[in-house]
Structure 1
Amino acid sequence: MPRTSVADLPRHDCRDAYVATLSELAHEDHRIVGVVNDSIGSSKLNSFRKSFPDRLINVGIAEQDMVGVAAGLANGGRIPFVSAASCFLTARALEQIKADVAYSNHNVKLCGMSPGVAYGELGPTHHSIEDIAWLRAIANLTVIVPADPVETSAALRWAAAVDGPVFVRVSRMSVPQVNADDYAFVPGKAVALREGTDVTLIANGTVLWRALVAAEQLATEGISARVLSMPTVKPLDVEAVVAAAQQTAGIVTVEESTTAGGLGGAVAETVVRHHPTRVTILGVPEFAPTGSAAFLLDRYGMSPEGIAESARGLLRHG
C-alpha cells in the first residue's frame, strides 16, 4: 500500500496547541501567568482568560510595557508567557527583550504569534520575517521555531521547565503533523525526519512539511534527500549540520523568514567554520508584497516543487 504523502495529512493551527498547553501548565503551576498586548483573540487565549481571569494581564497596545511588565513578574517569582503578534513583539519591544529579559537573564517566555508572512494579507508592516535574525544576535536567548502542534506543545513544556529567557514562534498557518505523538523536544538538537545521501534539506516551522514533500518528489527521480528538522535556531545543532555537509553534496535551507541571518545564516556560518560546502538559502529576500501566506511562500521558491528544484540545481552545479 503506498505511503500517505505529508501533503495529504490533516492541517492544524498551532495556536490551538499553544493555548491548550499553556492552560495545562497553568493548572500545574500557579506561577504561570499570561501577558498580552490586547491580543487575546488573535492568540486564542479566551479560554485561558476564562479559566484564569486573575492570571492574564492585558497591558493594551504597548509592547515595550508588556515585555517590561513580564520581566518584573519574573523578578517576582512568576513565569510569564508573553503572547503577541511576532511582528510587534520583536520589533517594537526589541530593546526591552535585549535589556530587560536577555541581559538580565529573566525567566520570561516570549511567544511570537502569527509569525512569518501569515498574520494576514496586510503586507510588510505585519510580516514578521526579521524576528529570527535579530533575536539570534541576542545572548542568553533560546530561539525555537516549531513545525507542528506536537512540537509547539513540547517546546512550550520545555520552556516552562527551564529557568531562563526563551522565544517560541507559534504558527498561525495550518500545518500537518510531521512529528510522532510521543515526540520529545530537545533544545539544540535536530531531528532527522528522512534519511538521505545525495542532498540535505534543513527546515523548520511552517515550511518543514513542504521540504518533506519535496524529498518525496526527489525520491521518484532517484535523488536521496535527507530532511533535517531544526526547531532550535539558537543553539543550532552544529553536529548535525556538519554531518550533512560531510555526507551529502550540499544543503538547502528553508524558512518562513528573511534569507539574511536566520536559519540559513546560522547553517552557512556553521559550514564555513567547520566543513565548507554549497548552501542554498530559501526564504524571503525582500519586503514581500501583500498576498496570502501560501502565495508568498510559493513566490519565493518554497513550494515543494520550488524546494526540489533548488536541490536539483545544487546537485547540477555541485
Structure 2
Amino acid sequence: MGQAPEQHAVQGSAAVQAIKRPAFQFYPADWRKDSALQSCSIAAQGLWINILCIAHQCEPYGHLTINKKPMNGAQIGRLVGLSAKECDKLIAELEEAGVASRTDEGALFSRRMVRDECLRNKRGNGGEGGKEYGALGAEHGNKGGRPPKARGVIYPPSEPQDLYRRGVIYPPSEPPPSSSSSSSSSIKHTAVVDQPPDEPDGSVCVSVCQKMQEAGIGDANPSDAGLIVLVGKGAGVGMFAAAAQVAVEQKKGFAYALGIVKNKMAAAASMADTPMAAPAARPAKVDVSRMTVPASPDADVELRRLAADAQIPRSGAPPELRERMAKRRGAASVGAGA
C-alpha cells in the first residue's frame, strides 16, 4: 500500500530534527471516533498503539524502521512480545481496515504522526518560506510561522485599524524629541500634572525609624501614613525615641509607639487651647517689728519677741500668746487715754 512521497518524507532543518521529542499528541476522542480502527479486534488495536510508541523513536519520524530499513513482522513481534505469525496476522488486519500504511520501501507508518511532524517542521523552520513578505509573512499560510503576540498595541485614530496586525510593533509616526536642553523647538506638547501637597521631609521619617529600630522596634516603616502625619505636625525624633522605649518595655510594636506620640501631641494641643487661670494674690506680709505700742516702757523688747514668735510657721498663734497680746493692746489703749 504505497503512499505519495510528500505524505511521509517531509524533512525539517538539521536544527529542527536535532530537537528531541519527549511525547506525541494523542487524542482519546479521535481514537474512539476512528471507525476504521474500531472495526479491528482489540488485539489489533493494542498492537497499533504499541506501533505508534515504537515509531515515535524511529527515523524518519512515524515510520517503523531500523537503521532506516523497514522492520519485518518478526522484528516487530519481538519488540511487542508476539510471534512473527501473530504479528503478521494483526498487521494484515490493520492494513485491510486502512489503519496502517506502507511506504514504497515497505515500511509501516502512521499517517497522523507524519502529518504532525510535517506541521512541526514547518513551524520550526522559522517561517523561511514567508520571510520575503516581511513582518506580515504569517498572513500567507504555510509560507511563514506565527509571530509572538504583542499586547498593549494602541492603534492611532487617524488610520484604519485593519492596516495593523496584532503582534507587530510599528515604528512611531514621529521621531522622539532631542535630548538636548537647548532645542526647545522639538518639544511640542507639555504635560500638566497636578502637584501633590507638600509632605514632610522623608529624611526626618527615616531618622525617626532609625532611632526606633535602635530602641528595638523592628517593624518601623518610614512610609507609614500615620508617621508622616505626626512628623508633619511637628513631632520630633526624641519624642518618637521615648515612645519606642515605652513600647519595647510593654512588648508592643510600631503602631503602639505611634499611638503614644499621637496621644502626647493631642494632649499638648489641648493644653495650648485652654487659657491658664491667673495665680491667686498672696496676702501682704505684715511686718510686726515695725508696730509700736505707745506708753509701754519695754514695748520694743516685747514686740521683738512677738515678732520672732510670729515667724515660726504654724496654723495659728497659741491661745496664751493671743491673750498676752490682747492685754498689751488693752494697756496701751488705757495709757493713751490717760
Superposition TM-score tier, normalisation by shorter sequence: under 0.3
Higher strand residue share: 1
TM-score when normalising by structure 1: 0.17
TM-score when normalising by structure 2: 0.16
Higher helix residue share: 2
Larger Rg: 2
